[in-house]
Amino acid sequence: MIKRMGFVKRKEGMTLKAFHDYWLTVHAPLASKAPGIRQYIVSTTIVGEGLTYTPAYDGLAEFWYDDLAALEAAESSPEWQMTRADSPNFIGSVAALFTSEVPIIEDGKPVREREGWIKYIGLLTRKAGSTVEEMQAHWRAVHAPLVCAEFTTMVRYVQSHALPETYGTARHPAYDGVPEAWFESWEALPGPILGRSADAAPTPAGLDSAATFELPIPVMVTREHVIIG
């Protein structure tokens, strides 16, 4: 199974609410008609509510397919072409990558039961001099346990690793990887995710981030909307 991730910014002059409303009521139903989609989730960015950061994007679209051939078939379909034609009505820009998921903490719940949860998203770029394979192996084996030890209120944690075969192609990834962490409530969000711990002493996970990834790491805090699941 592979996952296409599209990080979206709204077109100039459009409010965030109008952007999210159009996406969920007009664009998502169009996109859901493309063949071969196993799962489709739209994550809409949250602003305010105590957050002190500027979100990297206004939303995220995630599409799951059996393999790259199924993805290519979907994106060649008339239904997808209609979706693409609608995009300029609300989208200003998109940054995409094609990934495989590495579950670190699984909750075992049906996807629709997570719609009320809060989802943190980070966008990772590896340090210069590190290969894709080195960064992904370190992220999975070394960094993930540090994150789990620090953020104990996570109920789900998934790493999405950019597909190595997409580097240097037309599908070259915008980022090397994307961590997604779910929390059951706003109160469960850790201080660093809310942006309230800038002056705190570095943690092992924070120190490892600084050694492994380019800083600052662009982030988003979102809510999920299950279109196909």
Q: Domain map of the chain by residue range? A: 2-228
pLDDT in tens, 18-33: 999 999 999 999 999 9
Tokens representing 80 are: 């997808």
Contact 65, 4 (CB under 8 A): yes
Mean pLDDT of the chain: 94
Tokens representing 160 are: 């999405």
DSSP 70: H
Give pLDDT, residue 172: 97
pLDDT in tens, 155-168: 999 999 999 999 99
5 pLDDT band, cuts 50/70/90, is: very high
- Total Cβ atoms within 10 A of residue 31: 24
For residue 202, count CB atoms less than 10 angstroms from its CB and return exposed for 0-12, middle for 13-18, buried for 19 or more: exposed
Query: What is the percent of the chain where pLDDT is above 70?
Result: 97
Domain 2-228 has CATH 3.30.70.100: yes
**Predicted structure pTM score:** 0.95
pLDDT in tens, 98-150: 999 999 999 988 999 999 899 999 999 999 999 999 999 999 999 999 999 99
